Structure 1
Amino acid sequence: MGYSARTLVTTAPVAAALIDADGRVVAANPRWTGAAVGDVHAGEGAVLPGAGYAALFAALRSPGTETTICRHDEPGDDRTLRVVPVQDEAGVPGYLLTVEHNALESCPACGNPLPKEPHVEPVAHEEHVPLESVDSAKSEFLALLGHEIRTPVSAVVGLVDLMRALALPQDVREVVDGVHRSTQSLKVLIDDLLDLARLETDRLELTSQPLSLRELLESVAEPLQEEARRKGILLLAGTAPALPPVVLGDPARLRQVLTNLVGNAVKFTDAGEVVVSAEPLPDGQIRLMVTDTGRGLDTADRERLFAPFVQADSSAARRHEGAGLGLAVAARLVSRMGGSVEVDSEVGAGTQFRVTVPLVAAPADGVRAVPVPRLVVNRIGLVAPTARSTEVLSWLLNAADAEVVPTTLDAVMDGTAGFDAVLWCDDAHDPEAVRRGDRVMAAVGTHGRAVMLSTTDPRTGVVRGPSLITAPITLRRLVSAVNAERRGVRGAPIPVAPLPAGRILLAEDNEVNRGVFRRMIQLLGLECDAVGDGAAALTAVLEAAEPYDVVLMDVQMPGMDGLEATRKIRAAGATLPILALTATALRGDQERCLDAGMNSHVSKPITLPELRAALEPYLTGEPPAPPAPEQPEEPDEPVDEVPAVDLSRLRDLEEQLADRPLVVTTVSTFLTELGGRRTALSAALKRLDRDSLRAAAHTLKSSSALLGADRLAAACALVEQRAAAAVEIELATLVEAVDRAATGTAEALNGYLHEVGRSN
């Protein structure tokens, strides 16, 4: 018999057995033995006895109709044997037998007084199985089936990630990326099915731990940035100032609820805004709201919205795929938390979801609230498209100690309002936005701040004047933009201007770094060839058919390192600029690079604006600035106090490279290589091979720092610094710290991949 039939036997809430056409028991659950009618009690492998059961075997010889066998050997005997035809995957017939108890004076099959002899009545299935038993069996079956499906799907997901990390032809990569998207969707569906089954069977456990709702809302909005920008949607996340900074709840399940609600809002909103917020209620509960300006729902769709496997648009021509499980799971999760979900919607006028949950403030002792960044300006004029976005943006700015004045763009541009800063929403792709931006900047003057909240990606837009920030709008990003912090990176993603045409040779042995640096160079409008060691770099420079303008040379590489390659290049008479790429921070590094013949020194990890600044003097003919003096080494920071992974670094890479799939592939490659790196460290320690230990730590440190894995990078830096002189027991302690940090890094990066997969 097939898997499904066996699973039905296992999960059946009554005594059940699966038998073949010869009456042999193929599978049985624990309730079967001793629970059958009369002498029908044989275990697995036995053949059911025929004496006294002619009616039963007559039923077996007549498949296609469910049959109920009533046998009442003793007064008050309430047991009923039911026979249901089933088939395996090859079409071989068999039968599912169940024994049910019916505390009735009459037979449930025929309605007559309970007789002494068996008799047969064909019946419809739904007339005999209690509804609650069927629901329970279905839920348990769904859970068990989901777990079985997840095992091969997890293997497929991992194998596809490995394939995406390989160098593939473009046509093959497109196919692999399609498989990746499909497997991620399937994985999300399985997760939803399992959660639905756990909720239906009351087996889902909730946790209670401190969490910051502001950070939770922002983490939900972050993965949706790409879709929001593509659609031109203002995506905004904020919390009311009166909200407790830390509350007690289940962060994973709250994130799951909000991810479904906000993801649906972005999916079904074609223009306007999606606003997710949290605020306290007078009764002590907290309300989470997701408001959009999408297409809206009619009354019939609202009434069936939270039913499983239902979509508001279920027509064959619907534009959005999905199983319709997300909202069903979200509603049941909220109910388990003791809360409720309400929805208001009107066709053509948007939708608002209100989730009310009893989240209490976390005790002050031992809980560190997330610090709120502060603005350097006081009076801010705010121009937002709707009352809802105006309210939530005001919350964000008020939390950062600013006085907010809602206004209009015309009132700002007449120059009489006297604002320290102006924030307004616009489209960076609209040529008229250039004119509006110029007028706003003129109105605020040289000492004021002008920040455009762009609904589209400014990197491909026409606006270049004011500071720009785009979806998702969060507190820290908003403050960074107003304070003019981190220009060109995530706080205010101003496009980096291309450099004059040029050819760059990149020598970098680390595959993770090589892929990212090469993409950065291409984004600067430059041609790039990449090699993996110093010997290949030497050959490329000396034998190039067309000369390179600049070489970016990693210092530590296997075989011939960057210093030796540079010396040989200079010895051959080549004078092209060579810039050192190094992840070390040891005193004397800069001097060693200059002594080898390099022109400058660039420390990894490096951002796109920093790389542009390093290359610009050598491509424009401007004399480069003299190298800054080396700073004294900072005292080592305790490794355990450094965050496992700074996920904002990955978001920065997504923005700088304008290529989320590349970042995902880079993270997958790093995780694939991580096990081998850890093994290499352990093997070098066991041999007490100090050179190999230092080299392995250096390589892992470099790629870790690039991806924001600061704790792992810091642990590797300690191994690298002390590999030459430390005693064996100290090195063992340092390598153990690397191993602990690597475990935390893997968990955090896998979480990043999971979130990206759910948002794709």
Structure 2
Amino acid sequence: MAHRLRIRIPAIAAVVFIVAVMVTGGLIYDRNKAIYHRDVDTVTWTLYQYDRSLRDLRLAIWERGDSRLDETLLDFELLYGRFMVLLEGQTSNFLDRYATGRELIDELDRGMQRLDRRFIAVADGDVAYDAALRRELIERLGEAQELSRQLMLHHGRIAAEERSADMGVLGRLYIAVLISILLSLIAGGVLIRALVKEARQHRHKTHLLESQSETLREAYQRMEVANRAKSDFMAIMSHEIRTPLNGVLGMAELLHDEPLSDQGRRQIEGLRDSAAGLRSVINDVLDYTRIEAGHLAVERQPFHLSRMLEQLATGYQTQSRSGVQFLMRAAPALPTWVDGDVHRLRQVLMNLLNNAFKFTESGFVMLRVSDNGDGRLTFMVYDTGCGIAQQDQQRIFEPFAQTDTALSRRHEGAGLGLAICSQLVAAMGGELKVESQPESGSRFWFDLPLPVVAGVEEGAASTGQQEPLESQHVLVVEDNALNRELVAAMLTRLGQTCELVGNGEQALEALGQRRFDLVLMDMQMPVMDGLETTRRWRQHEEALREQGQRVQRLPVIAVTANVMPEHHRACLDAGMDDVIGKPFSRKELSAALRRYSRVHAAPSSADASPSGGDNAGRGGDGRGCDGRASGPDRGLDSETLGGTVEAAPAVVAPMLEDRPRIDETLLAGDTVEELRQVMSPQGLSRMVANYLQRFPERLEQMREALSVGDHQALGQIAHDVKGVSASLGCQALEAQAARVERMANDGQQAELETQLEILARLGPATGQALRSAGLLQT
């Protein structure tokens, strides 16, 4: 307590004295301001003017005699006006404060009234302006002048007294300020002395805290390393287990179609169900790993709500579960098209419905969807199963939590499903809730903001009747040969012509020589990247306009795997018109081409040059894309991918076509399907083979760059692997390469070896997944 008082008392005293200095300073300021605005000087000047006018009028009457009467009358009017000023305003207020001043003013007033009556009579001609009258006026003006002088003396004495009083007050205030400053300095010195003493006492404690902090920091780092190792281990094991598990499921499906005895068929069905349950557990573990690592992504886009619900209901209505009926109740006024993440919503609903079927032996499972009327939809899942006890209803949303050990042994699962659902619902803007009674059933529900999207249904309904794309000549600027071939194949299937170049310098040369309707520009390339290339072309367009040429803006669309908001802004700031993220579908490319078709956009400024005026300079015959590509390639060899691009024939596959299974933990199903539609089997197999052949080489290059500490080269190679993997739908390799690129750019040397080993193990697993998906012909 005494220690605290040693600091608190001088601190409070210093603050009080400083406040006293500030308050006194404010008083001094206010006093000086009041002195500055005081009416003493104004009154002095008014009295002086009045006295001067009296004297001048007396002299004028004496000197002029009976001549220049008009000027004499005018001088009196001026004198009378100045006297009226004495009776009003600041002068009157000042003189009213003193009795003597008021008496003198009243006497002057009476004398001025008599003079005023005399001059009025003279002006009206009632009285002759003779020598006798002039002597009378001079005498009365003399009397008034004497009173005026007395008034001035009285005022001077009052002004001197007030100034003396003001100086006395200011002097006392200045003394108070000096005393306060001195006391503040004394209190500050005492405070500093106490603080120095306290610092000495705390020095030893600080040393102890630093040693403890270092111990805690080391423990935290070990915990972080262990947490990352756990997440990486779970992700790797999920991938590694799924690869042989797909083989087990596939063989079980094949054996199920073979002629078997009843016992053998039951055993195969048990094997298939167990493998499917194991796959479900692995999927939950992988999803939770992503959520825990902060990689949970929610993508909002328009989708057909009723179609999604119909497909979901059809899947459950066809399940052969005796004793359990599936029902769906959807409000009749549900919107058709809404904006949200259809994949995450379907995942949550399927997880809740699967749980309901697991724990319901008889009765029904029902999905109910209703509209709240405020842009939010409510989804409810009812069941007549075993129910959940009150004390367990919040614990079930925790990871690896289950309500009943016996039921857990009867039903496969890791206890992650509801935890994942809760996280997904929260990410989409809702909250997952539960109500349940043991032995009576359960109700899970959540509401989500799903805004209605107007006009999409009509556009979607007429997609099949859309006019075909107008043929355009497209310049593809891409340093990776595989990506060039993919884009060229998509453009060919869309009826476009194109030319392929490998870097920004070649793009500027081609744009200066030939006419193009649109440019697809990679963001990161050797020699000159896409941002600098676009900036230089926009400067070229502006220079042509300044020369008087009519040049329309050439649409430039960025095609990049860097889809972070800052990368998007960088592309737009450089002069690009749009951004497409890799991998993109043919539908997305078609939409971009339609947005910037020649109906809305004009050709490049090469039309203004001598070599860019006709279609002969297009470098294509209107039937496809020029497969020649120049420039260095950092993914696959240009020679391997040169020649004519092979596009898949435009055929419609039957709805129940037997396609190989796709391991969606390693491959992106949408991208793989897009590749199957765009590329011929031979062309696709060649690209996949080249990709897998080059992968060990690229991995070795990354290891060499890490060994010499060249993080920039390591990050660039990882970026190349990420882009090529994204184009082929190898999403696990893409994600791991992106992680390596990010760590290389951040200079995280310690973890890079571990991440490269993870990348190396994912390579063979991805190759096996590509073979299983039928993308690699043997």
Whose helix fraction is larger, Structure 1's or Structure 2's?
2
Structure with larger Rg: 2
Pairwise same-fold verdict (TM > 0.5): no
TM-score, with length taken from structure 1: 0.32
Greater relative CO (CA pairs within 8 A, separation 6+): 2
TM-score, with length taken from structure 2: 0.31
